[in-house]
Amino acid sequence: MDNRPIGFFDSGLGGLTSVQELHRLLPEEKVIYYGDTARTPYGSKSPETIRRFATQIVDYLVSKNPKMIIIACNTVTSWALDSLRDRYPDIPILGVIRPTVRKVVEDGCKKVGVIATKATIGSDVYGKSLKALDPDIEVHSLACPAIVPLVEEGFIDGEIMELTVRHYMDDFVRTNQFDDLILGCTHYPLIAGHLNKLYPGIRLYNSSAEVIHEAKDILTARDMLASGSELTDRYYASDLSDNFISMTDLLFSGTDFKIKFVKLED
Ligand code: DGL
């Protein structure tokens, strides 16, 4: 048993969708979350900047003594997973991409769409990793850079987001005719309702959720699951945006948590 918290981070509130899955699958676990709301979005930044921001956040989370860190961000996973693991070799650091790729290949998907930020699509980590496991898989990738800023501003349900989704997706779906779609950004589960309504029949794969299954396997194998912890979940943000607060309240109402503003050195 290990009652230390699990550290999570994202450029903003997207990674909260991963915490939501943790609460569902492993309700005994406690969370320290860092959302870099002052510097979101990461998806249009350079790999160097993404790595610098991610390193600052992981240094901060490590100062809180977590038993594991989950990079609840595809953009950071694409560009900084290896360097973060090199920096902290003794802490399990999980990215969101490998578990998602494994699930898609295990399910036998053959024609797959991937939507994500510019930086994630630019890295082609999804394409390369899928093809490494299944050379016959067909992968179609698309960057959707306006979605994260809209989510961070609270435009999630409603017409503005629906039009934005259609702007990116209508042609992409029509041209490529894939059966399965990877939500390669942890903000995107929040727009799954639009995708299901607009493109029924396309199966969605959720990178926020798949990583939690991997976390469960690792914690179980190492006998590190929590039990009866009296800690409180803690959410930190580099800027306390109204939407970060209301989204945290909405997703985790009924659980005991604290939100605090912590700016990191640049
Ligand atoms: N949730 C992040 C991801 O999964 C969004 C990155 C961004 O801030 O653009 O990629």
Domain regions of the chain by residue span: 6-95+209-261, 97-207
Q: Is the pLDDT of residue 255 over 90?
A: no
Atom of ligand 1 lying closest to residue 207 CA: 4
Ligand 1 pocket check: which of 79, 185, 211, 244 to mutate, most ligand atoms within 8 Å of Cβ?
185
pLDDT, one tens digit per residue, over 235-252 is 999 998 889 999 999 899
Q: Are 75 and 185 in contact (CB under 8 A)?
A: yes
- At the top level of CATH, which class does the domain 97-207 belong to? alpha beta
Ligand 1 center to 148 CA (angstroms):
7
The two tokens of residue 47 are 């790999």
Is it true that domain 6-95+209-261 has CATH number 3.40.1190.20?
no
pLDDT, one tens digit per residue, over 132-173 is 999 999 999 999 999 999 999 999 999 999 999 999 999 999
pLDDT at 266: 73
Q: What is the spatial distance between Cα 144 and Cα 138, in angstroms, rounded to a whole number?
A: 20
pLDDT, one tens digit per residue, over 182-230 is 999 999 999 999 999 999 999 999 999 999 999 999 999 999 999 999 9
Domains 6-95+209-261 and 97-207 fall in the same CATH topology: yes
Give the length of the chain: 266
Pocket lining: 189 vs ligand 1, CB cutoff 6 Å: no
Q: Are 92 and 68 in contact (CB under 8 A)?
A: yes
Under DSSP, is residue 120 helix (H, G, I), strand (E, B) or coil?
helix
Q: How confident is the model at residue 254 (pLDDT cuts 50, 70, 90)?
A: confident
Q: Is the pLDDT of residue 265 over 80?
A: no
The two tokens of residue 187 are 């903000």
Atom of ligand 1 lying closest to residue 148 CA: 9
Ligand 1 center to 159 CA (angstroms):
22
pLDDT, one tens digit per residue, over 84-112 is 999 999 999 999 999 999 999 999 999 99
154 Ramachandran zone, left/alpha/beta (phi>0; psi -120 to 50): left
pLDDT at 253: 87
Claim: this prediction has a pTM higher than 0.75: yes
pLDDT, one tens digit per residue, over 60-79 is 999 999 999 999 999 999 99
Cα dihedral: 145, 252, 211, 226 (round 10): 150
Pocket lining: 54 vs ligand 1, CB cutoff 6 Å: no
108 Ramachandran zone, left/alpha/beta (phi>0; psi -120 to 50): left
